[in-house]
Structure 1
Amino acid sequence: MPIALVWFRSDLRLADNPALHAALEAGFDPVPVYIHAPHEEGRWAPGAASNAWRHRSLKALDLALRQRGSRLLVRRGDSAMVLQQLIEQSRAQALFWNRKYEPATQPRDAAIKQALKQRHVQVRSCNAALLAEPWDVQTRTGEPYKVFTAFYRNVMAGLAQRALQDAPEALPAVPSALKGEGIDALGLAPALNWDAGFWEIWQAGEAGAHQALEVFVEGALRGYLDQRDLPDRIGTSRLSPHLHFGEIAPWRVIARLQAQRGVSLDRDIDGFIRQLVWREFAHHLLHHFPHTAQQNLNPRFDRFDWASTAPGPLQAWQHGRTGVPIVDAGMRELWQTGMMHNRVRMIVASYLTKHLRVHWLEGARWFWQTLVDADLANNTLGWQWVAGTGADAAPYFRVFNPVTQARKFDPQARYITRWVPELEALPVNARFAPWEFPQLCRGRACDYPHQPIVDLAQGRQAALAAYARTR
């Protein structure tokens, strides 16, 4: 049988993998390949938490391939050069891959495809990540969308369920002459095991993704819309890292949800699918406005008076020592688990960009290093949305009051207490703003900052004044 390379990137699964299945359907013996080339990601090479996840996900993929008679061939270097070497060594006649959509990788992939076609190598790219390609969704005038609601309606109007494809039961062996590196040699796993807390709640890999989907369907899906904003419980799907690394297809998620349709769940299913379309919107924006990974989409904010990035306030925010319990709880959850509840992400981002008036890029860079689901499109959209600088953004003058938010979404302070245990001896009503209750300082509570690093009212007023100067 002729050989085809199947180039794995952010599609670390065997089920619903269009490139793998296309190679098999075309009559090729697939050689699964992973090329480690972080230098080709531009300014957004994968962060530490992402690398820790990828390490485990690659091992899970390799194990799944070996169980079917194949293996993952791992190389490192410039992708174009490595692929050319592998084509020559294997005498492959074709190359299949699933598309990536980042600004740095799209032109690279296009150049590789053109160069190989000139050498008469069959090249095919597929969509393994999105419900709709970014270039297929446009306004009536042919322009990209900047408003989510209109984008959502367009996507849903054209949404068709794709056929599900189970993982192949067996695969051809990779020729023994083709040598690669061990996954451990890539240096993705942290040397000091600082990620140990991650794996108490996460299972990287395709099997973990399918298990997470079942746990969601059998649990948090019921009541999703009412509980997704409450950080003291598992009220969300926890599928985001699995989707980011391509361990599960979004259309399989939707198919599983649709199978649960019924009067009591329709509202929650529709609400979750809407969140999946927000993910689509993020990729749509990054494709059409690639500069937004580094720059404001709204140029008005190019003259905004951001505060100087003094290390003290930024580091206090990063390490959960701002003196604002809900903010500190979120940042500590992030450090220990590689994840932060979505409602709390908005609170901590608002606090950084509004109360501290630190440029959203500083927050985006920290999240990039510490989130296991760090996705350039979602990270960019989220930070620009909260900062008020992006598409369909919350207006800048919308400043979350972190104390009010905590009382509303964590009314028993369970989330705060879990991640800021210094405050557990205080009455519940004092845990939201302990500086208002100095007489209660006792025990470990005295080790917590006695005052926020910035007065909330003064920080809000300074942010609104800076905003007014841009008008």
Structure 2
Amino acid sequence: MPSPSIVWFRDDLRLTDNPALRAALERDEPIVGLYVLDEESDGVREIGGAARWWLHGSLASLGERLNERGSTLILRRGAASKVLPAVVDDLGAGAVFWNRRYGGVEREIDAGIKEKLRDDGLTVASFAANLLYEPWTVRTGADKPYGIYSPFARAVQKMPAPRPPMPEARKVPGVSASVDSDDLSSWGLLPTKPDWAGGLRETWEPGEPAAKARLTEFLDDDLGDYAKYRDEFAGGATSNLSPRLRWGELSPYQVWHDTLEHRGSGEHAKSASGFLSEIVWREFAWHVTYHSPDIATVNWRRNFDAFPWPKLNRDHLETWQQGKTGVAVVDAGMRQLWHTGVMHNRVRMVTASFLIKNLLIDWRHGEQWFWDCLVDADAASNPFNWQWVAGSGADAAPYFRVFNPETQRKKFDPHDEYVREWAPEFLDDGPPEPMVDLGETRKRALDAYAEVRHGG
């Protein structure tokens, strides 16, 4: 009698380059996919609204693709430590495979499940799939984790080359018996009252096929312009792959090797190297998070705990969230975020700097808003990058670096294409007045930072 294998999908919603799925196929038994919506385990951070919208679409796509290949995707809601053993019992499964996660709480959950299932006699294995280099493999000469990007990147260059991606699973044998599964719609991942996701639907198509198509499009059409135009707010040179990587519709191995194949020479090679450095920055964020799993709530640089944040001005926070600050690039960026679920990377830095340094609002409030609004919000990059702007994080921007939104606008949106699309009222004869004076608030921020720098 067959003992099926369970492939526990998490942030790896793909059939290509999926080591857990490959291991199940090699076992030569029926396979069932499983996704657990775990919002009950202690310490698990509930995903934000825009991310929930994306998850719905990506799970629907994965379920369809597994069905086409002969298997099925079981959906269950609850604490993973309870759900997974229950599904094992339901199926009489003999093996469980998954790809590793790197958040602190998630690692503890996975380790507990692995121990329990192995004690019950099951084959259980986990794999490296979502980072090129696992966080314990890149260390300084003193055997410590890196806290500065440049030496981290140099160390990565000396590591063995990332393995080539595995081929897509074309056939996935399923079980003959029906297995109880939640209906995806019952999870309420899509907004209804109100339905604020119209802009997301206009902008994105979640799922692995669309992810592969976008990677091909970027490499064929946009990679050559990446180095020259990536910082332009309205430019088309950005990859738009961040949500694909966040949800694992693409693996970093696919992106890495496909980019190398398109590297070419001259300006094209420069662009390819610049783009791959962003993949390494993503790795760096996850490595830092692995060693500092509380990065979303605790300053990485603990001396920053002494920063003199004033009492939260909720009106100022809401004005920033709504894109009504009276500062063109900030308002354009916040509106792009709300409509599309993403924001140009440089604009993310400008809007974050404005909140933290011009409004003197704790970075954690901004991080939470982005967490709720970004389709690509992941547990490493989002808090890591907010702490970078704040000056409290690893390899942080110098405390005296305060992005001037008007200077950034002139340099990276010289023809006002970005502002015209997202905040056209700033091109009228009477544009809005900024909510604060940029020069005065910059000085106030530098005075506050000096308190931390000099020990208060």
- Cα-to-partner distance string for 1:68-123 (whole Å, 9 max, x where unaligned): 11111111112121111111111111110111112221111111111111111111
Q: Which amino acid aligns with 2:423?
A: V
Q: 2:436 corresponds to which residue?
A: 454
For 1:149-164, list aligned pairs within 5 A: 149-164=150-165
Structure 2 residue 168 is matched with structure 1 residue 167: yes
Q: 2:234 corresponds to which residue?
A: 232
Is contact 2:44-2:106 (8 Å) kept? no
Q: Which amino acid aligns with 2:204?
A: W
Is contact 2:38-2:77 (8 Å) kept? yes
Kindly report structure 1 stretches of 4+ aligned residues shifted beyond 3 Å.
Answer: none
Q: 2:88 corresponds to which residue?
A: 87
Among 331, 334, 344, the residue aligned to 1:328: 331
Q: Which amino acid aligns with 1:102?
A: G
CA distance in 2, matches of 1:39, 1:407: 47
CA distance in 1, matches of 2:398, 2:263: 36
Q: 1:3 corresponds to which residue?
A: 4
Q: Which amino acid aligns with 2:412?
A: F
Q: Which amino acid aligns with 2:265?
A: V
Q: 1:431 corresponds to which residue?
A: none
CA distance in 1, matches of 2:226, 2:40: 39
Among 279, 284, 288, the residue aligned to 1:281: 284
Structure 2 residue 182 is matched with structure 1 residue 181: yes
For 1:421-440, list aligned pairs within 5 A: 421-424=424-427, 426=428, 440=429
Structure 2 residue 450 is matched with structure 1 residue 465: no
In structure 2, relative to structure 1, the CA distance for the partners of 1:234 and 1:41 (3 Å cut) is: farther
SS at match of 1:220: helix
For 1:206-285, list aligned pairs within 5 A: 206-264=208-266, 265-285=268-288
For 1:299-310, list aligned pairs within 5 A: 299-310=302-313
Q: Which amino acid aligns with 1:461?
A: K
- Which deviates more, 177-186 or 39-48? 39-48
- Cα-to-partner distance string for 1:137-185 (whole Å, 9 max, x where unaligned): 1111110000101111111211424233222222212333311111111
Is contact 1:223-1:268 (8 Å) kept? yes
- Cα-to-partner distance string for 1:284-343 (whole Å, 9 max, x where unaligned): 000011122211111111010112211111001000000001000000000000000001
CA distance in 2, matches of 1:104, 1:91: 28
CA distance in 1, matches of 2:165, 2:451: 54
SS at match of 2:40: helix
Q: Which amino acid aligns with 1:310?
A: N
SS at match of 1:204: coil
Q: What percentage of aligned pairs have identical amino acids? A: 43
Structure 2 residue 300 is matched with structure 1 residue 297: yes
Q: 2:356 corresponds to which residue?
A: 353
CA distance in 2, matches of 1:159, 1:402: 41
- Cα-to-partner distance string for 1:172-231 (whole Å, 9 max, x where unaligned): 123333111111111111113311111222111101110110111122211211111001
- Which deviates more, 278-287 or 224-233? 224-233
In structure 2, relative to structure 1, the CA distance for the partners of 1:332 and 1:180 (3 Å cut) is: same
For 1:403-422, list aligned pairs within 5 A: 403-422=406-425
Among 196, 200, 203, the residue aligned to 1:194: 196
SS at match of 1:221: helix
CA distance in 2, matches of 1:26, 1:65: 17
Is contact 2:299-2:392 (8 Å) kept? yes
- Cα-to-partner distance string for 1:13-33 (whole Å, 9 max, x where unaligned): 001011000111122322111
- Which deviates more, 366-375 or 223-232? 223-232
Q: Which amino acid aligns with 1:274?
A: S
Is contact 2:54-2:206 (8 Å) kept? yes
CA distance in 1, matches of 2:175, 2:425: 55
Q: What is the Cα deviation at residue 43 of structure 1? A: 5.9
Among 317, 321, 328, the residue aligned to 1:318: 321
CA distance in 1, matches of 2:265, 2:228: 16
TM-score norm. by structure 1 comes to 0.93
CA distance in 2, matches of 1:162, 1:409: 37
CA distance in 2, matches of 1:195, 1:291: 30
- Which deviates more, 163-172 or 251-260? 163-172
Q: Which amino acid aligns with 1:414?
A: E
In structure 2, relative to structure 1, the CA distance for the partners of 1:86 and 1:175 (3 Å cut) is: farther
Q: Which amino acid aligns with 2:366?
A: G
For 1:25-36, list aligned pairs within 5 A: 25-36=26-37
SS at match of 1:293: coil
Q: What is the Cα deviation at residue 44 of structure 1? A: 2.3
* Number of residue pairs matched by the alignment: 450
Q: What is the Cα deviation at residue 41 of structure 1? A: 7.0
SS at match of 2:83: helix
CA distance in 2, matches of 1:219, 1:309: 45
CA distance in 2, matches of 1:163, 1:276: 16
Q: Which amino acid aligns with 1:412?
A: H
Q: 1:434 corresponds to which residue?
A: none
CA distance in 1, matches of 2:16, 2:166: 6
Unaligned runs of 5+ in 2: none
CA distance in 1, matches of 2:159, 2:246: 23
- Which deviates more, 30-39 or 355-364? 30-39
Structure 2 residue 21 is matched with structure 1 residue 48: no
Q: 2:22 corresponds to which residue?
A: 21
- Which deviates more, 155-164 or 191-200? 155-164
TM-score norm. by structure 2 comes to 0.96
For 1:372-391, list aligned pairs within 5 A: 372-391=375-394
CA distance in 2, matches of 1:420, 1:266: 35
In structure 2, relative to structure 1, the CA distance for the partners of 1:395 and 1:41 (3 Å cut) is: farther
Is contact 1:307-1:356 (8 Å) kept? no
- Which deviates more, 373-382 or 41-50? 41-50
SS at match of 2:311: coil
Is contact 1:352-1:358 (8 Å) kept? yes
CA distance in 1, matches of 2:402, 2:326: 18
SS at match of 1:38: coil
Is contact 2:391-2:397 (8 Å) kept? yes
